[in-house]
Amino acid sequence: MAAPWVILGRVPRIAAADADAEPGDDAEADSAAASSSLAVALPPRVTLLTAAPSAHPDPARPDKFPYILAAGPGCLLSRFSTSPYYGARFGADPPETRLVVARRFGTAAGETTASADRVPDRPATMPSVRNIEGVGLIDVDDGEAYVIAELQIDRGSDRAKLFRVHSGH
């Protein structure tokens, strides 16, 4: 029987690096596709996302606090930075920040796994995310695609900007 609901921790764990990987081998780094997993824990315990080391922009300098920004019905959006920056820090956007969407969840051998896709970088004039309060995420086409939206409101302004990223665009 599937859990009716879970408590999701906001800071993912990072899986141990693969001992067989060659240094500098970044064949999967652009897609961060080495997979993520969820150890589903029934309440009152906390469910944690485990992300592959390739989710970080520089696995040699990973931040200690990557952060889950948004959750959709079939996907999770996380933000990864390089040390000394960390995923939960907003405002001054570090130069090396990566957004990763975990989706296509499935269960195999008692573990819930997902594919992880790197979100393409925004143009240099736009931060990867300005604030967590304005970010939304949904999956479309039964998990085959996703849409990330962020509403940015400048303090003291009567205008807002809506940024949208659709997988494949």
65-114 confidence digits (pLDDT tens): 888 999 988 899 998 888 877 766 665 556 678 889 998 888 877 778 88
The pTM (predicted TM-score) of the whole model is 0.81
* Over residues 1-12, mean pLDDT: 80
pLDDT band at 137 (very low <50, low <70, confident <90, very high): very high
Between the CA of residue 138 and those of 14, 76, 126, 165, what are the distances in Å?
24, 9, 21, 11
- CA-closest candidate to residue 51, choices 19, 80, 12, 20: 12
Cite the beta strand spans of the chain per DSSP E. 7-8, 13-14, 36-39, 46-51, 67-72, 75-81, 97-108, 111-118, 135-140, 145-153, 160-166
Q: How far is Cα 121 from Cα 133, in angstroms, rounded to an integer?
A: 20
Q: How far is Cα 96 from Cα 82, in angstroms, rounded to an integer?
A: 6
Question: Phi and psi of 47, rounded to 5°?
Answer: -85, 135
Bin 106: left if φ > 0, else alpha if -120 < ψ < 50, else beta: beta
- Residue 158's Cβ-side half-sphere holds a number of Cα atoms within 13 Å equal to 0
